[in-house]
Amino acid sequence: MKLDDYWLKFRHSFWFLPIFYGTLALVMAIVSMYLEEAIPTRKIANFVPNALMTDVKIGQTILNAIAVSILTMTTITFSSIMVVLTTYSSQFSPRTLQDFISDVVTQRVLGVFTGGFVYSLLLLLFLKDLSDKKLFLGPGIAVIWAIVCLGFFVFFIHHVATWTQVNSLIDKITTRTQETIRNSFHLGIDQTKSKQLSVKENINELEKKEKIKINAPTSGYLQMIKLGPILKKATDNDHVIKVERRIGDYVLKDTPLYSYLDTRSLTKEDKNMYEECFAIGPERNTVQDVEFGIQKLVEIALRAISPGINDPHTAINCINRIGTILAELGGIMFPRPYYYDEGNNLRIIVDIQSYRELLYKAFYQLRHYAKEDVSVCAATISVLHGIVERNDLDRSIHKIVWDFAVYFIEGIETDVLLEWDKQFINEKIMRLAKMIGREKEYKQLKL
């Protein structure tokens, strides 16, 4: 499992695709040189156009020009990346840097450039072994690769121009967070196999039993919990495991990470057997962390409404996208805290965030910093209406949304609002109250 974790981190790192294309170029250069030596020139000419066949002198000139050109394009590409990262950090949020760095297009462009430069450089190195031949194919292949690099370069300039648009960034963050909800929100466990704690069991009694806490081996953010392997191991070894931390929590070294609630079948060798099922890293990611995706949108919105930027329309866009995420969350079955094996034996207890908590964390900072901004306050109430509309049959969601609406509206600075401002917000409140069936409470709540 540790090897799989290292491979997964390397696969998603910035280095993977450049190293892959560089290695591919190395193999291609060796194979092409071997074929040049092994196959006579006249036979090669039967399968490729004559325009791709060059002599040594022209080949050296072509390869030298290609190597320099590709290195120049790579330098410009790195400069463009630095401009994007600076823009993201200063205007949007430092947490959004990893979205651009982890983008496959960015990594693939650098990979293609790296491969083209390595291939051209190696061919120049191998030319001395082919000096006795009239024509060879290597520079022709390098020319084709250079044309591909040029196409990638033009595409990358367009790609950077798109990424630097805040609306595009907001859309990509929203899309990735929605993918996390669909693919990893239940932490890799089939929700039909989980159920609520049965009557014969009592969580307080389980907590009172002798338990052994296993501490975190290092400090960092809890990025992933592999509940599937934990459930399998707990079933095979007759363990009851309680996960002490949530996804996205910062874990200090030598503080509890998980614990054994039933130690009857526990041996010394078993104590750290679940450690490999937890991924702890230096920063949060959106592999399983839905809250982190929402946090990025909140930070962009807060930057947008700050006095230095003063861009409420960007903040409203972020609020609308947060509403899209929360509406989708309301329509799915939330993970349950108790997981059983096939024999209905309790195996895992997980601390799960509630919908109420996610809704609060999504808007409480915006409520504080935008309490005097009519447009942002009205947009938030409209988003709450959209959440209710998306989950029109779930009365529990309706109650949570209405309770939060009361909290949010009570925090609005009514002293700085004029009559038209109050009327505009009251229309939003009335619409929400009618949707939930709280018209009677509207009279006490309106501004």
pLDDT of residue 266 exceeding 50: yes
- 273-287 pLDDT per residue, tens: 888 888 888 888 888
SS3 of residue 239 by DSSP: coil
Structure-block tokens of residue 404: 């939060």
The Cβ-side half-sphere exposure at 106, using a 13 Å CA radius, reads 24
Q: Following DSSP, what letter does each residue of 331-363 receive, concatenated?
A: TSPPPPSEEE-TTS-EEEEE----HHHHHHHHH
pLDDT of residue 42 exceeding 70: no
Choose among 137, 136, 102, 142: nearest CA to 118: 142
Range with the poorest average pLDDT among 20-29, 121-130, 199-208: 199-208
Q: Following DSSP, what letter does each residue of 348-415 receive, concatenated?
A: EEE----HHHHHHHHHHHHHHHTTT-HHHHHHHHHHHHHHHHHTTT-HHHHHHHHHHHHHHHHTS-GG
- 413-445 pLDDT per residue, tens: 888 888 998 899 999 989 988 888 887 877 777
- Confidence (pLDDT) at 378: 92
Choose among 370, 357, 359, 361: nearest CA to 301: 370
- Confidence (pLDDT) at 48: 67
Q: What backbone phi and psi angles, to 5 degrees, belong to 213? A: -95, 135
- Confidence (pLDDT) at 197: 47
Q: In the predicted model, what is the mean pLDDT of residues 135-160?
A: 85
pLDDT of residue 119 exceeding 50: yes
Sign of CA dihedral 277, 248, 203, 194: negative
d(CA 324, CA 296): 14
What are the CA-CA distances from residue 356 to residues 103, 235, 262, 318, 397 (Å)? 32, 32, 31, 19, 9
Pick 219 or 440 by higher pLDDT. Answer: 219
d(CA 116, CA 102): 22
d(CA 127, CA 308): 59
Q: Is there a contact between 315 and 254 (Cβ–Cβ < 8 Å)?
A: no
- Confidence (pLDDT) at 1: 46
Which band of pLDDT confidence, cut at 50, 70 and 90, is reported for residue 194?
A: very low
Sign of CA dihedral 402, 408, 413, 419: negative
- Confidence (pLDDT) at 200: 43
Complete edge-to-edge strand list for the sheet that includes strand 241-243: 212-215, 256-260, 241-243, 346-350, 338-340
- Confidence (pLDDT) at 165: 83
Range with the poorest average pLDDT among 32-46, 234-248, 307-321: 32-46
- Confidence (pLDDT) at 252: 93
The one-letter amino acid at 154: V
SS3 of residue 447 by DSSP: coil
Give me the chain's average pLDDT, please: 82
% of the chain residues with pLDDT over 90? 16
Range with the poorest average pLDDT among 40-49, 353-362, 365-374: 40-49
d(CA 184, CA 181): 6
Q: Is there a contact between 83 and 75 (Cβ–Cβ < 8 Å)?
A: no
C-alpha dihedral, 176 to 180 to 181 to 185, nearest 10°: -160
Which band of pLDDT confidence, cut at 50, 70 and 90, is reported for residue 298?
A: very high
Beta-carbon contacts of residue 312 (< 8 Å; ≥ 6 apart): 304, 305, 373, 375, 376
Complete edge-to-edge strand list for the sheet that includes strand 278-281: 250-251, 220-225, 278-281
- 236-248 pLDDT per residue, tens: 888 888 898 988 8
In sequence order, the β-bridge partners of residue 221 are: 250, 281
pLDDT of residue 191 exceeding 60: no
Which band of pLDDT confidence, cut at 50, 70 and 90, is reported for residue 321?
A: very high
pLDDT of residue 99 exceeding 80: no
Residue listed under structure tokens 């949108």: 297
Q: Is there a contact between 215 and 254 (Cβ–Cβ < 8 Å)?
A: yes
The one-letter amino acid at 436: I
pLDDT of residue 150 exceeding 70: yes
- Confidence (pLDDT) at 31: 84
- Confidence (pLDDT) at 198: 47
pLDDT of residue 188 exceeding 60: no
Q: Is there a contact between 340 and 346 (Cβ–Cβ < 8 Å)?
A: yes
Q: In the predicted model, what is the mean pLDDT of residues 56-84?
A: 84
The one-letter amino acid at 396: S
- 378-390 pLDDT per residue, tens: 999 999 999 998 8
pLDDT of residue 5 exceeding 70: no
Cα angle 48-49-52, degrees, rounded to a multiple of 5: 95
Q: Following DSSP, what letter does each residue of 36-101 receive, concatenated?
A: HHHS-HHHHHTTS-GGG-B-HHHHHHHHHHHHHHHHHHHHHHHHHHHHHHHHIIIII-GGGHHHHH
C-alpha dihedral, 409 to 413 to 416 to 422, nearest 10°: 10
For the chain, give the number of residues. Answer: 447
Q: In the predicted model, what is the mean pLDDT of residues 327-355?
A: 82
Range with the poorest average pLDDT among 69-83, 116-130, 290-304, 367-381: 116-130
